[in-house]
Amino acid sequence: MKKLQQLYEGKAKKVFATDDPKKYIVDYKDDATAFNGEKKGQIADKGIVNNIMSNIIFQMLGEKGIPTHFIEQLSERETLVKAVKILPLEVIVRNVAAGSFSKRYGVEEGTPLAKAALEFSYKKDELGDPLINNDHILALELATEEQLATVTKYAYAVNEALKEFFLEKGLKLIDFKIEFGVYDGEVILADEISPDTCRLWDVKTNEKMDKDRFRRDLGNVEETYQEVLSRMKK
């Protein structure tokens, strides 16, 4: 597979065209950002952790019938994926109050929610990725009704699969963000699933095992990312 021109560079990844128009190569970076890019830094080998961990999880989800963009891991930092057209939505599922949810609704961080809460954000950096509801999504033609129904179904299915998967690794899934794309007319899971996009707390200690260590200057960021990856491999 030949790597051609760069198509896109985001906060955490670069995407390259290949000699097959239906396949891209994703290259994971060590750059770290928080608060919509206001805080910036580097986490050593974060790209390696996020690439390998995402691929482990995508394969697990694929086995459970959730279609993903994953094709093949090419190296520690690079993965071959299906050339999806990303829907401009951040899809967030919350099991426990934390972060912006706690601030927004005045709920103490760590409070279990009575039901998994699904949120959508409009994926637009210049607007600060505002929260958006189903009617807004349809009114702005960000997705069709059918696509939105599929995204919703998969989001809850991913949540159930991830909760079980992480619990086996000694981690509680507090919340997570995922993205979906369209490939050959089908909605599939894309982007990544990593400590950058999930809040993970240690089951025994409630220690934060995710990007909150960077966001909140808690220290041991690199070591925590490596620890999470080591658990994924067991």
Answer whether residue 138 shows pLDDT above 90.
yes
Each residue's pLDDT tens digit, 197-234:
999 999 999 999 999 999 998 888 999 999 999 999 87
pLDDT the model gives residue 34: 80
Each residue's pLDDT tens digit, 112-122:
999 999 999 99
DSSP 31-96: EEEETTTTEEEE-TTHHHHHHHHHHHHHHHHHHTT--BSEEEE-SSSEEEEE--EE-SEEEEEEEE
Closest to 158 (Cα-Cα) out of 26, 60, 90: 60
Rounded to two decimals, the pTM is: 0.94
- Could you tell me how far CA 150 lies from the centroid of its own chain? 17
pLDDT the model gives residue 104: 96
DSSP 87-110: -SEEEEEEEE--HHHHHHHT--TT
Each residue's pLDDT tens digit, 9-64:
988 999 999 999 999 999 999 988 887 767 788 888 999 999 999 999 999 999 99
Q: Which amino acid would we find at residue 24?
A: Y
Look-up of token digits 């909150």: 212
pLDDT the model gives residue 40: 85
CA dist 156 and 161 (Å) reads 9
CA dist 24 and 20 (Å) reads 8
Average pLDDT, the chain: 95
∠ Cα 30 87 70 (to 5°): 55
Which domains are present in the chain? 3-82 (3.30.200.20), 85-232 (3.30.470.20)
CA dist 213 and 209 (Å) reads 7
pLDDT the model gives residue 77: 97
pLDDT the model gives residue 234: 76
pLDDT the model gives residue 233: 86
pLDDT the model gives residue 177: 98
